[in-house]
Amino acid sequence: MIVTVQQHIMFEQRRRHPEARGRFSWLLSGLTLAAKMIEAKIRRAGINDALGSAGETNVQGETQQKLDVYANQALLHCLGVRDSVAALVSEENEEPLVFDPAPETGEYIIVFDPLDGSSNIDVNVNVGTIFSILRRPPGPVTNAILQPGHQQIAAGYILYGPSTVLVYTTGDGVFGFTLDPAIGAFVLSHNHIQLPHQGNLYSVNEAYADTFPPAYSQHFATLRSKGYSSRYIGSLVADFHRTLLKGGIFFYPPTHAYPGGKLRLLYEANPLAFIAEQAGGRATNTNSRILDIPPTDIHQRTPLIIGSLSDVTAFSC
């Protein structure tokens, strides 16, 4: 029996929130529609002139790829037409898009990185979409966006690789769905994902090792002495998905270029930390649990150490 992501969301909502009116499920259907649009564009990127730079730089000062722009527009469109959305925050947009509906309808704030790792697209390496869903509390929407990660009501990612996989949690386990192109639906393929308690892989860009705080390189040497191998794809969603399924530990430490870390708290670290913890793993910035960091800016960065419970707790600096 196949279970699609829509059916799964409805089952979960009925089981856990019998009072739910399906507005959350309707919201998530906007995400899966955008994911299918992005996937279709990526699959043909080499032959539909979708590769390469869009000739602009985004708010991060990064060169926008054509597919960054497309992915962002697809998500803004598919989510913006859902009346349950109070605001959208995208890595590609300097300011939030506030729709300011009535509080009783505009219940959700969605924060996303439309296409993470897009610099890898031209060489056909996995890229991903990452999303985080927050509840809109009473009061002005703009004051409600900077919520700590433990207040997320859902989080997930879509990994565009040899197959396209959607992974999500609503706080009661982690589930993975593989897009079946024959029927155009995401079908349950990874039920109740558990992040292995300990792994044998570590993942970090060691080109920056000379600029990491010393404790990192000392720890990497310890891991190597224990027989750990190294894997680094340079696309966060791909490196995280491998860690989620195989175990081990991923690091993006502070560097000279990014003393506060390179990865974003709201739409990269928080959603992946929610998933990691729901699957039995951990995520920290070495001083704090990622999900407890109080945000001060929608685009703020953080160091990220995430993965197996045993591996993450064994590291300190």
Residues that bind ligand P6P (CB under 6 A): 116-117, 119, 205, 234-236, 239, 262
Between 82 and 301, name the residue whose CB sits nearer to ligand P6P: 301
Name beta bridge partners: 179: 186
Length of the chain: 317
Q: Which is nearer to ligand P6P, 130 or 141 (CB)?
A: 130
What's the gap between Cα 120 and its chain centre?
A: 17
Q: State the minimum distance, in angstroms, from the CB of residue 309 to ligand P6P.
A: 21
CB of 117 to ligand P6P, least distance (A): 4
Shortest distance in whole angstroms from residue 197 CB to ligand P6P: 24
CB of 258 to ligand P6P, least distance (A): 8
Question: Position of tokens 């990014």?
Answer: 258
Pairwise CA distance, residues 91 & 113, whole Å: 5
Name the residue nearer to ligand P6P (CB basis): 98 or 204: 204
Beta carbons of 163 and 146 less than 8 angstroms apart: no
Nearer to ligand P6P, 30 or 149 (CB): 149
Q: How far is the CB of 235 from ligand P6P (least distance, A)?
A: 5
Using an 8 Å Cβ cutoff, are 311 and 164 in contact? no
Nearer to ligand P6P, 20 or 59 (CB): 59
DSSP 8-state assignment for residue 62:
P
Strand order of the sheet with strand 152-160?
A: 97-98, 85-90, 108-116, 127-135, 152-160, 164-169, 174-180, 185-190
